[in-house]
């Protein structure tokens, strides 16, 4: 391995790529168009009243009933009274993927009538700004009305508010479509740019005698391969930066940028450069290589969690998804960017690394520059 | 000085088929060697074995004293190769290609001078995919010189090129020879071999059927010289009646097969004295092409037929 030669090949590869509008389009612009398109379609799914799950520990008092019906009349929320078995609404909300909840304490009605200051607890998920805003707005509005009413009836003539609320964050983050789309489309880039062009390059360079030409220079096959892996890793980092920039900047995606995404951005391109080379090496002509490449690429493009989270698939399709190498790249990125579940990310990474090593070894074994 | 290329008993089998069948030849340093043969005769296979791109089945091959298959890497630093139909990275310019090759080889040629040498300076900054066939081939030639090679392998370098581009490449080949480099050339064009080569080998069905300088081969294997007189059948009848030489009537001229130089003078003198009408004469000899066609087959509608009458294989 000679760094100077790798760098020279990298320079030529980069130049060729940057001067090829089609390659550039599919690597960087196309995923961007996808994130804009899907983001716009799915970002705003309409402002319906948020359901406010309410635990009422003062069920018997007419004041609490009046308070809840006041909330309903704001049309910002729809009150849904529940009884949690755990007694912990925050946990219940997290388990059931609900963004807002309300707890009315025991003695709420009595305190109100006796002008004793009392608080309700409002659980909101700050990351679901829509539901949180609606719930806070509704509770504030109804409490103001109750406080004014209490002041008018006050015997001492002061207008001090009686009711207040304690805001609480719900312990779970809720993710929307756009949040899943960011890691999904980073995965899409990791898959498509090396796959499409390595399949083409491997088969057409062989047909056109460019490998033969290169084999007559001091450049080794391994140096050539290193240059390609480095190039697609650079492209992957660029694509990831663009996806994160647009996802967060334009659509407010709730992703956490973390250094733990780097292992996936390094090993992902290695996996698909190897797979692309394998497909290109097995095929006898560039035409059949393109077909083999598409057969491998297209199912992954749609079924590995790129455009839709795999958890929303039917159980049968989930099994299919879990056979695809890209699934583990995207799931790993989801674990890092969305859930900060590093244990599961590590498992995903080990699987991705294992597949990459196997594909890389097979590609190196099968890929030949010379006739025999 | 030791021969640049020494091939002894080289054989290449594909299954039971011998693509190259026990051939031997030597190429002296500083000479132009042309390897001729119809399609499928084994030219490219032999060339690729010499370049270290293909393994041999039997025999010994030494190029600059190295075994091309086992010692390819040190050999490749000393040879330049231009394949048939040179292809390269589509979006890269000749200038950038030369920079790339220079870095790979760790050499420092002057790119401008190299491009000037192959007459490609005006396209120095044009992308490869915009170059014509001749310009692409010229770039291949320029790249093969980046490492200042001792042997240049040119595999049908002018096939499909227009006469101007072909002559430009011939000029470079002549210059390479002047600089003391060895040139190993395969070609379809017999005229090209005759003009450029010091030595020629003709290969057919994997075997060398003739070797030597073009003049030697013509002397040895060509037909006798002929006196061609532009005249009618009366002159043909006249010559036949007076001389024992074979006379052939072809179109507007007659060919008299000469046994020696004096024949021509005597025949011309007699024809002149006969007062029969004739308008001109010339002596003709077989060209390398005549010999080649006699040895390996015949050209039918531009397709070279091998001597057994079947069309020669499409690829080499």
Does A161 score more than 70 pLDDT? no
- The mean pLDDT value for A70-90 works out to 80
- For the record, the structure tokens of B70 come out as 């086992």
Other C-beta atoms lying within 10 Å of the C-beta of residue A353 = 17
Order across the sheet with B58-63: list the strands. B17-27, B5-14, B58-63
- Min Cα separation A216/chain B (Å): 6
Which residues, other chains included, contact B164 with Cβ-Cβ below 8 Å and sequence gap of 6+? B134
Residue B296 confidence class, pLDDT cut points 50, 70, 90: confident
* Secondary structure (H, E, C), A102-134: EEECCCHHHHHHCCCCEEEEEEECCCCHHHHHH
Contact between B242 and B274 under an 8 Å Cβ cutoff? The reply is no
- For the record, the structure tokens of B41 come out as 């005769």
Chain A residue whose CA is closest to B140: A213
Task: Tell me if A8 and B104 make a contact (CB, 8 A cut-off).
Answer: yes
- Of A8, A19, A372, nearest to B103 by CB-CB distance is A8
Partners of residue B48 in chain A, C-beta under 8 Å = 371
Which percentage of chain B shows pLDDT scores above 90?
A: 48
- The mean pLDDT value for B194-211 works out to 91
Pairing mode, if any, of strands B182-187 and B151-155?
Answer: parallel
Question: With an 8 Å Cβ cutoff, is B89 touching chain A?
Answer: yes
- For the record, the structure tokens of A331 come out as 């799931």
Question: With an 8 Å Cβ cutoff, is A223 touching chain B?
Answer: no
**Could you read off the pLDDT of A229-246 as tens digits, one per residue?**
999 999 999 999 999 998
Size of interface A-B (CB pairs under 8 A): 67
CA distances from A285 to A204, A275, B87 (A): 8, 17, 17
| Stretch among A113-127, B74-88, B277-291 having the lowest mean pLDDT | A113-127
* Residue given tokens 């024992």 in the structure block: B244
Does B227 score more than 80 pLDDT? yes
- The mean pLDDT value for B289-294 works out to 84
Does A372 score more than 50 pLDDT? no
Name the H helices within chain B: 43-51, 72-76, 94-105, 111-117, 133-144, 163-178, 190-196, 214-221, 233-242, 261-274, 288-296
**Could you read off the pLDDT of A250-306 as tens digits, one per residue?**
888 888 899 999 999 999 999 999 999 998 888 888 888 889 988 999 889 889 988
Reported ipTM: the value is 0.79
Mean pLDDT across chain A, nearest whole number? 85
Partners of residue B104 in chain A, C-beta under 8 Å = 5, 8-9, 217-219
Please give the pLDDT value at position A171: 47
Residues A11, A8: Cα–Cα separation, whole Å:
5
- The mean pLDDT value for A100-121 works out to 86
Which residues, other chains included, contact A10 with Cβ-Cβ below 8 Å and sequence gap of 6+? A227, A230, A231
Question: With an 8 Å Cβ cutoff, is A15 touching chain B?
Answer: yes
- The mean pLDDT value for B235-256 works out to 89
Residue B316 confidence class, pLDDT cut points 50, 70, 90: very low
Residues A327, A300: Cα–Cα separation, whole Å:
8
- The mean pLDDT value for B262-289 works out to 87
Please give the pLDDT value at position A154: 53
Closest CA to A202 of A220, A225, A168: A225
With b for 16 or more beta-carbon neighbours within 10 A and e for fewer, the A275-308 pattern comes to bbbbbbbbbeebeebbebbeebbeebbebbbbbb
Partners of residue B100 in chain A, C-beta under 8 Å = 8-9, 11-12
Which range has highest mean pLDDT (A41-45, A162-166, A227-231, A245-249)?
A227-231
Please give the pLDDT value at position B315: 37
* Secondary structure (H, E, C), A280-299: HHHCCCHHHHHHHHHHHHHH
Please give the pLDDT value at position A329: 95
With b for 16 or more beta-carbon neighbours within 10 A and e for fewer, the A152-163 pattern comes to eeeeeeeeeebb
B127 or B159, which is more confident? B127
Does A111 score more than 70 pLDDT? yes
Contact between A198 and A282 under an 8 Å Cβ cutoff? The reply is no
- For the record, the structure tokens of B87 come out as 């292809």
- Of B54, B103, B105, nearest to A371 by CB-CB distance is B54
A353 or B261, which is more confident? A353
Report the SS3 class of residue B256: strand
| Stretch among A146-155, A278-287, B6-15, B248-257 having the lowest mean pLDDT | A146-155
| Stretch among A149-163, A194-208, B194-208, B297-311 having the lowest mean pLDDT | B297-311
- For the record, the structure tokens of A52 come out as 């406010």
B10 or B313, which is more confident? B10
Contact between A70 and A139 under an 8 Å Cβ cutoff? The reply is no
B314 or B166, which is more confident? B166
* Bridge partner list, A337: none
* Residue given tokens 């693509």 in the structure block: B19
CA distances from A51 to A8, A81, A94, A128, B26 (A): 61, 10, 14, 13, 92
Task: Tell me if B106 and A218 make a contact (CB, 8 A cut-off).
Answer: yes
Residues B299, B309: Cα–Cα separation, whole Å:
10
Mean pLDDT across chain B, nearest whole number? 88
Pairing mode, if any, of strands B17-27 and B5-14?
Answer: antiparallel
Does B150 score more than 50 pLDDT? yes
Please give the pLDDT value at position B223: 81
pTM of the model: 0.74
Name the H helices within chain A: 3-18, 21-24, 30-42, 62-73, 89-95, 108-113, 129-152, 177-208, 210-215, 221-251, 262-282, 286-303, 315-321, 325-334, 342-366
Which percentage of chain A shows pLDDT scores above 70?
A: 90
Nearest-10 crossing angle of helices A286-303, A177-208: 170
Chain centroid offset of residue B7 CA = 18
Partners of residue A12 in chain B, C-beta under 8 Å = 89, 92, 96, 100
- The mean pLDDT value for B185-212 works out to 90
Which percentage of chain B shows pLDDT scores above 70?
A: 93
**Could you read off the pLDDT of A20-56 as tens digits, one per residue?**
888 888 888 888 888 888 877 776 544 467 888 888 8
- Of B48, B88, B100, nearest to A210 by CB-CB distance is B88
Closest CA to B234 of B277, B281, B279: B277
Chain centroid offset of residue B159 CA = 11
Report the SS3 class of residue B20: strand
Please give the pLDDT value at position B313: 37
Does B193 score more than 80 pLDDT? yes
Please give the pLDDT value at position B304: 46
Interface of B with A in 255-284 (CB under 8 A): none
Please give the pLDDT value at position A86: 59
Please give the pLDDT value at position B302: 40
- Min Cα separation B85/chain A (Å): 9
A59 or B281, which is more confident? B281
Please give the pLDDT value at position A312: 72
- For the record, the structure tokens of B256 come out as 């008299």
Question: With an 8 Å Cβ cutoff, is B51 touching chain A?
Answer: yes
A133 or A18, which is more confident? A18
Order across the sheet with B79-82: list the strands. B79-82, B151-155, B182-187, B32-36, B199-204, B207-212
């Amino acid at each position: 391995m000679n760094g100077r030669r790798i760098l020279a090949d990298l320079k030529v590869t980069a130049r060729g790529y940057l001067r090829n509008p089609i390659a550039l389009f599919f690597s960087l612009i196309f995923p961007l168009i996808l994130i804009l398109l899907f983001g716009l379609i799915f970002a705003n799914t309409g402002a319906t009243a948020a359901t406010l799950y309410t635990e009422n520990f003062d069920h018997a008092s007419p004041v609490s009933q009046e308070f809840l019906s006041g909330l309903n009349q704001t049309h910002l929320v729809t009150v849904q009274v529940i009884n949690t078995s755990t007694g912990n609404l925050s946990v219940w909300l997290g388990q059931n993927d609900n963004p807002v909840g309300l707890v009315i304490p025991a003695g709420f009605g009595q305190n109100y009538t006796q002008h004793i200051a009392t608080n309700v607890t409002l659980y909101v998920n700050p990351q679901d700004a829509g539901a949180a805003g609606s719930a806070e707005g509704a509770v504030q509005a109804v409490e103001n009305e109750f406080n004014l009413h209490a002041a008018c009836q006050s015997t001492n003539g002061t207008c001090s508010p009686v009711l207040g609320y304690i805001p609480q964050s719900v312990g779970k983050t809720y993710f929307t479509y756009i949040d899943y789309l960011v890691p999904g489309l980073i995965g899409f880039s990791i898959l498509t740019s090396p796959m499409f062009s390595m399949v083409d390059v491997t088969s057409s360079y062989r047909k056109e005698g460019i490998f033969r030409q290169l084999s007559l220079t001091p450049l080794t096959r391994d140096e050539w391969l290193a240059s390609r892996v480095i190039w697609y890793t650079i492209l992957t980092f660029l694509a990831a930066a663009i996806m994160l920039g647009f996802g967060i900047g334009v659509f407010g995606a709730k992703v956490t940028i973390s250094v733990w995404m780097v292992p996936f951005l390094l090993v992902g391109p290695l996996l698909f450069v190897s797979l692309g080379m394998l497909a290109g090496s097995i095929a006898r002509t560039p035409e059949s290589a393109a077909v083999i490449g598409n057969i491998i690429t297209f199912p992954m493009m749609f079924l590995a969690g790129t455009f839709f989270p795999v958890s929303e698939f039917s159980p049968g399709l989930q099994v299919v998804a879990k056979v695809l190498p890209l699934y583990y790249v995207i799931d790993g990125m989801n674990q890092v960017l969305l859930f900060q579940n590093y244990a599961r990310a590590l498992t995903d990474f080990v699987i991705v690394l294992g597949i990459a090593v196997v594909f890389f070894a097979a590609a190196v074994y099968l890929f030949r520059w010379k006739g025999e | 000085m030791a021969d640049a290329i020494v091939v002894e008993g080289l054989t290449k089998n594909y299954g039971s088929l011998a693509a190259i069948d026990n051939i031997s030849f030597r190429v002296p340093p500083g000479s132009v060697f042309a390897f001729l043969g119809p399609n499928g005769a084994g030219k490219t296979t032999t060339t690729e074995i010499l370049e270290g791109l293909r393994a041999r089945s039997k025999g010994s091959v030494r190029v600059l004293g190295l075994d091309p298959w086992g010692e390819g890497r040190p050999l490749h630093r000393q040879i330049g190769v231009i394949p048939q139909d040179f292809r390269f990275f589509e979006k890269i310019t000749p200038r950038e290609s030369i920079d790339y090759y220079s870095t790979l080889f760790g050499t420092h040629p002057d790119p401008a001078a190299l491009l000037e040498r192959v007459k490609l300076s005006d396209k120095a900054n044009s992308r490869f995919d915009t170059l014509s066939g001749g310009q692409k081939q010229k770039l291949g030639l320029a790249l093969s010189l980046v490492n200042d090679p001792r042997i240049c392998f040119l595999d049908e370098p002018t096939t499909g090129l227009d006469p101007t581009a072909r002559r430009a490449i011939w000029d470079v080949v002549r210059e390479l020879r002047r600089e003391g480099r060895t040139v190993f050339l395969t070609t379809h064009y017999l005229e090209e071999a005759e003009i450029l080569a010091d030595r020629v080998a003709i290969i057919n069905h994997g075997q060398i059927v003739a070797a030597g300088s073009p003049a030697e081969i013509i002397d040895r294997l060509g037909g006798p010289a002929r006196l061609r007189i532009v005249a009618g059948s009366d002159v043909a009848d006249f010559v036949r009646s007076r001389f024992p030489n074979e006379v052939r009537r072809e179109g507007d001229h007659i060919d008299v097969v000469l046994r020696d130089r004096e024949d021509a003078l005597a025949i011309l003198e007699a024809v002149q004295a006969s007062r029969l009408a004739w308008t001109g004469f010339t002596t003709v000899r077989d060209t390398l092409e005549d010999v080649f066609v006699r040895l390996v087959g015949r050209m039918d509608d531009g397709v070279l037929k091998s001597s057994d009458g079947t069309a020669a294989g499409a690829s080499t």
